Structure 1
Amino acid sequence: MWQVKRALSGQCQTLLGVLLLSAALIIHSAQIGGAAKAQPRLEPGVGEVNSAEAVNGARLPRSVFHVRWNPNEKFVVESRESPAINSSKLAPHPRLKVSKNTKLTLSPKLYLCHDKYSELCHNKTQQFRQRIVQTFEKSMSESFNDSQPNPYHVDYKPVFGDSFEEQYYPSTCLVMEAGVRVLRRKDKPFDKVPFGRLFPRQKLFRNIKNIKTCAIVSSAGSLAGSKLGRFIDTHDIVMRFNHAPTQGHEVDVGSKTTIRVVNSQVVTKPEFDFAHAPIFRNVTIAAWDPGKYNGTLEDWLTSADYDLFSNYEIYRRRYPKSRAFLIDPHSVWRLWQTLQMFAGNRSIRRNPPSSGFIGLALLLPHCPQVDFVEYIPSTRLNGRCHYYSKEMNAACTFGSWHPLAAEKLMTLDMNTADDMSVFQFGILRIRRPDKLLCGFNFFGY
C-alpha cells in the first residue's frame, strides 16, 4: 500500500512539475508578446534585421532613436536661455540673402507617416527623399554662374580633378582632413600681438575620452512641434547656433547647451548684444569669420568680413574665465574645398560654408557619433526659417547664399541612419571614420 501511495505521489509531483513548467512558459510568452505590443511603433528597434535583409545579405542603416518617444508626453526642463533680442524683432538669418523663391515647391504633409513597418510608409519616405534630393540637386546646379560676385576672392584649383581617389574617398575623411580648428595663443601672428593673449588656454573640448554621443541642433523651423527635446538632452555634447533659444522650446529642442557656434555678424551687430546677452554666457563659444580665401591672418585682423574682434575682446575681458574661441578662417576655406571636391565638376557658390557645416567639422574629430537634428529637412518641413520665429523663406532650407545644397548632399553621403530616421523623425547620424579609412591628405598640409 505504501509503495502504491509513493508511486502515486511521484506521479503527482511529476504532473505538478509539468503543469508549473507549462504555466511558466505561458507567462513568459505573454510577457514577450505584451512587451512587443506595448512598444510604441514610433520607437525604431536598434539591431533589428528583417528577412529581406537577411536574404540579400545587406544590412540597412539603423534607426537612431535609443529612448522611448511618446508624442503625447510633455517633457519640460527649466532653462534660462532666451533669444539675444526680442523674438518679434528678430533679424534675418545671418548672411542669408532673401530668395525670390520663398515658398516651398512640395507638400511635405503628403509624405508624413509613422509606421515604419508599413510598406505604404516606406514608399512615402522614399518618395519624399527623392523629392528632397532632387530639390538640392536643382538648387546646386542653379546656384552658381561665372557672373556672380566673388567677394572673398576665391581662386580654387582642384588637386586631382576626377581622379579615382577623389571620387571614392569617404566624405567623412574629407571633412576630418579639412582640420577645422580654433586659434591658439601660439599661432602666428597672435603669439606676438596682445590680442592673442585673449584666447583661452584650455582646449575647445575637455574630457574627450568621456564624449560618446553628440547632438547638433539646427535652428530649422521644422523643429517646431517635433518633441525631440528629450532625445537631444541625452547626448554628452549639444551644439547650437547663433542666438537660437531654448527657453519656451524645451519640449522640441531640449534645454542642454554645451557649445554655440556663432558667426561674426552675431558677434558684431548691436542687436545681438553678444558681450552682455545671457544666452552667450556659461557656454563654450566658437565664433567664426571667413576672411579672404587666400588672405593671411594678418590681413584678416584688419579686414575681416565683420569686425568681430572688438566685441570678442570686450567679452573676454568682461568674462575672463569664459571659454570663447575664434575659428581659424583658413580651416573654414579648407572645409569649403571639401564641398567643392564632393561636388566634382559642378561649381558651388564661392561663399563660406554655413555655421551648421562648420560646427559638424569642428565636432566630428572629437565625437564618435554625431546626431544632426533637422539639418536635412524631414516631413515636418514647414517653410519657416527658424523654430523661434515666423519668417517664411525656403532659401533657409535649400540655400541662397551659403553652398547649402552641397553641404546637405554631402552630409547625406556621410549618413549611417535609415531613411525613416532622417526624413520622418529628422535625425541624421554621422559616425567618426576609422583612421584606417583616412590618411590621404588632399590639402597638402
Structure 2
Amino acid sequence: MRIRMIKWLFFFSLSLTLFWFSHVITQDSLSLAEHSRVLQNYQRIGNGSVEQRFLSLHCNQCALVSSSGQMLGAGAGEEIDQIECVIRMNNAPTKGFEKDVGSSSSVRVVAHTSVSILMKNEKDHFQDSPETTYVFWGPERNMRQDGKARVFNNIQKLANKYPHMGIYVFTSDKVKYCDGVFQKETGKDRKKSGAYLSTGFFSMILAREMCDSIIVYGMIDDGYCSRRDRSNIPYHYYEKYKLHECAMYRSHERFKRGGHRFITEKSIFARWAKQHQIVFKHPSWNL
C-alpha cells in the first residue's frame, strides 16, 4: 500500500512538472510572437550577397517624421526622441535641427533617387548612426539584382562596407503590392495615370506594418493648401530657400506624367487614420 502511494505521488508530481514546463514554453512562445514581427518582402542586403532574410521589427509606438518645412519651429525634438521608434525619410538631416525634429533615427526609408545623396554624406548617415535601419525602394530598372542597376549596386556597396548595419530593400513584389494599394484606394492604375508613389507613401505602408500606433509629425492634410492659398512653407525643412510646399504639391498633382500625387496620398492617409491608430501633429488633422 505504501509503495503504491509513493508511486502515485511520484507520477502526480511528474505530471505537475510537465504541465508547468509546457505552460512556460507556451508563454515564452507567445511572448516572442508578441515582440517580433517578420515583415515579408523587405529583403536584407548582406555583405557580398542578397540574403534570404527579411526585416523583423515591431514597435508599440512610432514617430513618422516628415521632411516638410512644417517642422521648422515645431519644437518637437524632445518629444520625438522619447518615442520608441523613429522613422525618417530620404536624406533629411537631424544635425542642426535637433530642437525641431529630434536626433534619434530607428528606420530611414530611402528612395532610389536619394541613394547617391546619402553616399555623399556617409559620415552623417552610416558612420555616426550605425543603429539606424535603412529600407530602400525603387523601380525594377534601378533595383534589379543582376549587376546591371547602378542604384542597387551602390546599395550593395554600402552593405559590404557596413556589414553590421541593417540594410534592406523593398522587393519587386512589395513595390507591386504598394501599386495595388494605391489602385484600391483611388480606383486608378498608378502607371496608367502617370503617377509616382512618394517616399511618404512607402514610409506609411511600412509604419502600418511595424507599428501598433503612429504619430506623424509635419505632414499636411489634403485640404491644407486650399485653405492657405499663399503658404510659403518650404517643401523641405532643410532647404529653406527653395520650393514652397504647396506650390510643389499643386504642380505634382497636375502632372500628366511622372508626378507624385501628394494631395491624393494625404486623403488616403486620412482614411487609414480611421482604421489604424494614427495621429497627426504640426499641423494636427481634423479627421
TM-score by length of 2: 0.67
Which letter does structure 1 place at the counterpart of 2:62? Answer: C
Count of residues paired in the alignment: 227
Identity of aligned residues (%): 25
1:406 counterpart residue number: 264
Name the CA shift for 1:382/1:395 in 2 (closer, same or farther; >3 Å): closer
Asked whether the 8 Å contact 2:41–2:173 carries over to 1, the reply is no
Helix, strand or coil at the partner of 2:154 = helix
- Select 1:376's aligned residue among 220, 225, 244: 220
Shift of residue 339 of structure 1? 1.5
Aligned positions of 1:40-439 closer than 5 A = 181-184=41-44, 195-197=49-51, 201=53, 203-206=54-57, 208=58, 211-267=59-115, 269=116, 271-273=117-119, 276-280=122-126, 281-282=129-130, 283-291=132-140, 301=146, 304=149, 307-344=150-187, 349-377=193-221, 382-390=232-240, 391-393=242-244, 394-398=246-250, 400=252, 401-416=259-274, 422=280, 425-427=282-284
Asked whether the 8 Å contact 2:40–2:55 carries over to 1, the reply is no
| Structure ranking higher in helix proportion | 2
Asked whether the 8 Å contact 1:291–1:329 carries over to 2, the reply is yes
Shift of residue 429 of structure 1? 11
Cα distance between partner residues in 1 of 2:40 and 2:67 = 21
Q: Which runs of 5+ in 1 are unaligned?
A: 1-178, 431-445
CA RMSD of aligned residues (A): 3.4
Name the CA shift for 1:290/1:427 in 2 (closer, same or farther; >3 Å): farther
Asked whether the 8 Å contact 1:276–1:315 carries over to 2, the reply is no
Cα distance between partner residues in 2 of 1:240 and 1:259 = 6
Helix, strand or coil at the partner of 1:358 = helix
1:199-248 Cα deviation digits (max 9, x unpaired): 7x5x5344x3xx21101101001111111222222211100011111112
Which letter does structure 2 place at the counterpart of 1:276? Answer: E
TM-score by length of 1: 0.45
Q: Which runs of 5+ in 2 are unaligned?
A: 1-38, 253-258
1:304-358 Cα deviation digits (max 9, x unpaired): 5xx2222222212211111111111331232122122211269774343111110
- Whose radius of gyration is greater, 1 or 2? 1
Name the CA shift for 1:416/1:226 in 2 (closer, same or farther; >3 Å): farther
Which letter does structure 1 place at the counterpart of 2:184? Answer: M
Name the CA shift for 1:330/1:395 in 2 (closer, same or farther; >3 Å): farther
Asked whether the 8 Å contact 2:81–2:103 carries over to 1, the reply is yes
Which is worse superposed, 314-323 or 332-341?
332-341
Name the CA shift for 1:338/1:358 in 2 (closer, same or farther; >3 Å): same
Asked whether the 8 Å contact 2:90–2:111 carries over to 1, the reply is yes
Name the CA shift for 1:373/1:285 in 2 (closer, same or farther; >3 Å): same
1:132 counterpart residue number: none
Asked whether the 8 Å contact 2:43–2:171 carries over to 1, the reply is yes
